[in-house]
Amino acid sequence: MIDHDALGDELFLALRRRQCVAPLTGRVPGVTVDDAYAISSRILARRLAEGEAVVGKKIGVTSLAVQSMLGVYQPDFGYLTSAMQVHGDEISVSSSLIQPRAEGEIAFVLGRDLVGPGVTPEQALAAVDHARVCFEIVDSRITDWKIKIEDTVADNASSGLFVLGSQPIDVRGFDFYTCGMVVEKNGKILSTGAGAAALGSPLVCVAWLANTLGAYGVPLSAGEIVLSGSLVPLERVEAGDHMKVTLAGGGSLSVRFT
């Protein structure tokens, strides 16, 4: 029998100590995605016990570019806590990160509860108060990012930190399918993407999240932030890097890594 609490404690300590552990899929026979979510729940419980609060959820591995980079070909979800949100334009690599990568995406702030199953993209849109451009800084407590779906799910969907742009986006009438995103690194264009890169639309991602969470008895609540998945490939970052993401019609966001 798989000891979810022991594995969750191991990953929690890896998070706190900024250390990596060997992939679970190479040493825990029979581990499943459901096991991995139970392990992730243990990590969340440890974080909440230390005073953090849930502020939202994230969807990971939604675009083909990210799936190909990681070798993981299905979406997953993780929890966002108050300690993960960066306020300002500076991110310290040495404070809590191990092997960070930045990704540009669209964040949604919910105006009302959204509970699956059966949620459609149209219903997801109706539940959104506004959106913001976002950088998520993903990280992995698994050695060298050698992850399969069970590894990243157990590790809270490889979550690290996130920062939101200051400009609210009115989602009514916004084209989330064709909207373009440009990511720059150190003053040079690094990558481009469009809303369609994330399962066809970020709203499809939000609906997927609501329905998947619903199967586990977890709601999306009013006021929560939903990170809808990267529209561009992940980019390794280190101290000294400057990243900028621009969303057509949605403003821009710049961060410096120290």
Cβ contact 59:229 at 8 Å? yes
pLDDT (0 to 100) of residue 199: 83
In the chain, the amino acid numbered 203 is: L
Phi, psi of 124 (to 5 degrees): -60, -45
pLDDT (0 to 100) of residue 74: 78
Residue with tokens 């992730």: 40
Cβ contact 183:244 at 8 Å? yes
Per-residue pLDDT of 99-143, as tens digits, reads 999 999 999 999 999 999 999 999 999 999 999 999 999 999 999
- Which tokens sit at 203? 């709203």
DSSP 233-256: --EE--TT-EEEEEETTTEEEEEE
pLDDT (0 to 100) of residue 66: 67
pLDDT (0 to 100) of residue 65: 64
Is the full-model pTM beyond 0.85?
A: yes
pLDDT (0 to 100) of residue 36: 96
Per-residue pLDDT of 180-201, as tens digits, reads 999 999 999 999 999 988 788 9
Structural domains in the chain, sorted by start: 4-257 (3.90.850.10)
pLDDT (0 to 100) of residue 216: 87
Nearest-CA neighbor of 198 among 242, 227, 225, 228?
228
pLDDT (0 to 100) of residue 63: 62
3-state secondary structure of 68: helix
Given a cut of 70, the residues of the chain with pLDDT beneath it are 61-70, 72-73
Nearest-CA neighbor of 197 among 218, 179, 171?
179
Cβ contact 40:78 at 8 Å? yes
- Residue 163 is given by DSSP the state E
In the chain, the amino acid numbered 136 is: E
Phi, psi of 254 (to 5 degrees): -120, 140
